[in-house]
Structure 1
């Protein structure tokens, strides 16, 4: 029996906080345009990590609670919140067992994390936590590997160091999550996406990749150090420049909880 790939993002807290680009504000703009107003709403962000999506919701005027099993990530999230001038109530818990009261939120969000959950349990927990006709938002913000680009070269290097990492080659689209939500009884399922380039310095891109599941969250420190050197050389040799334009796709699905 093969061992399950089980990264520990708590190991990457510093890089995750410093280098991982957060969700773009345009995500909230698109949610608002779709009829989901966050101001004065009670929002729960599960798998919050360093609070990227939670912060966006708080900046939009929501009352936000953020959950994550990694306390070290929540410490970084709180520091980033202080710098941003917002307040989120962070708690250590999982998406499958939040320990929170029934029907206590208007919106539940999950940013860049649904693939790590036990989907049936997480969807059932989200449904329990939402008030009638409350909304769940599952969102992703993914780099895009295109033939010959720096993302594809980066993914090739990750795989050479960590063959168990099988998350490369993505399109930033997640149709399976629609099935998860429909199976749990959610309705009004809709999706949207948009692409944009994210500027990274070479150093920041290396730091961002160290914070990923296939590197800092799963490799021993000595391999992470060698990977850092190798990726730095790849960027200098093949993608020189002070600023790298890294293509990303934002994708989201929204769905409505059934009335009780």
Structure 2
């Protein structure tokens, strides 16, 4: 089997995957977690979708990711959107950021906390936060409700990649409260809401190709076979365009006192 084509995966991620909706950033502002002028560290930034959204709200953001290709794409997109002055990107690890003590008002991790050594990442966030600063952990998951396109897509991913164990989720992550508390964070808060994301058929196929279970695990020929079967499944079972894909946004945060 060929190795995964990471350049294609990064391109699909940036081109087709939707980021957190504006309502999520509104929520952060209402809860006092985000304000213009804040210094923000975005862990596991990927192609910088969340970092650019925060920068567009007036924050100054540093996005870290260990993948050089993701950082290059994040820089390109920030320049394209006129945000390079407020959103910069560097290669780096959540567990060892290399940033100064007390340098940030907010540390945020979107769609990535499960990839980290969670205890080390939480301790590192504590170190680089100013007193009164917050660590926000957030996720934006499709919901595999019975009969939905996400449910059918997960079945197909499992058929092609039996080792994949990230399906059938509920969009809730209560264990993260323990991560925050053990690192010393207090005033734990939660927020979340459901959201119907609209995907064109092409964008849904691209978004799934870029997922950990497909583009992040299968080789190029296997990804192409999966994509062809997904296209057939959509044609046979889901005639609407755009596709309505239920999602859940979940966020939990704690404050450094």
Same fold (TM over 0.5): yes
Distance in 2, Cα, partners of 1:22 & 1:101: 29
Distance in 2, Cα, partners of 1:225 & 1:188: 47
User: Is this contact kept in 2: 1:10–1:71, CA < 8 A?
Assistant: no
In structure 2, the partner of 1:3 is: none
Distance in 1, Cα, partners of 2:80 & 2:163: 37
Offset at residue 164 of structure 1 (A): 1.3
In structure 1, the partner of 2:13 is: 16
Find out whether 1:59 has 2:56 as its counterpart: yes
In structure 1, the partner of 2:205 is: 206
Query: Could you list the runs of 4 or more consecutive aligned residues of structure 1 that deviate by over 3 angstroms after TM superposition?
Result: 7-11
In structure 1, the partner of 2:215 is: 216
| TM-score, length basis structure 1 | 0.94
Q: CA 1:8–1:30 in 2, change beyond 3 Å: closer, same or farther?
A: farther
1:171-210 aligned at under 5 Å gives the runs 171-210=170-209
User: Is this contact kept in 2: 1:9–1:211, CA < 8 A?
Assistant: no
Secondary structure in structure 1 of the residue aligned to 2:93: coil
Instruction: Please give the per-residue CA displacement for 1:146-169, whole angstroms capped at 9, x wherever unaligned.
Output: 011110000000011111110000
Distance in 2, Cα, partners of 1:67 & 1:10: 18
Distance in 2, Cα, partners of 1:205 & 1:115: 23
Secondary structure in structure 1 of the residue aligned to 2:202: helix
User: Is this contact kept in 2: 1:41–1:107, CA < 8 A?
Assistant: yes
Q: CA 1:56–1:218 in 2, change beyond 3 Å: closer, same or farther?
A: same
In structure 2, the partner of 1:42 is: 39
Distance in 2, Cα, partners of 1:228 & 1:76: 23
1:65-104 aligned at under 5 Å gives the runs 65-87=62-84, 88-104=87-103
List alignment gaps of at least 5 residues for structure 1.
1-6
User: Is this contact kept in 1: 2:5–2:220, CA < 8 A?
Assistant: no
User: Is this contact kept in 1: 2:180–2:253, CA < 8 A?
Assistant: no
Secondary structure in structure 1 of the residue aligned to 2:121: helix
Instruction: Please give the per-residue CA displacement for 1:199-233, whole angstroms capped at 9, x wherever unaligned.
Output: 11111100000000000011011100000000000
Distance in 1, Cα, partners of 2:224 & 2:186: 47
Distance in 2, Cα, partners of 1:13 & 1:38: 30
Q: CA 1:99–1:209 in 2, change beyond 3 Å: closer, same or farther?
A: same
Offset at residue 10 of structure 1 (A): 6.1
User: Is this contact kept in 1: 2:139–2:250, CA < 8 A?
Assistant: yes
| Residue correspondences, number | 252
| TM-score, length basis structure 2 | 0.95
In structure 1, the partner of 2:224 is: 225
In structure 1, the partner of 2:116 is: 117
In structure 2, the partner of 1:29 is: 26
List alignment gaps of at least 5 residues for structure 2.
none
User: Is this contact kept in 2: 1:10–1:70, CA < 8 A?
Assistant: no
Most deviating of 205-214 and 235-244: 235-244
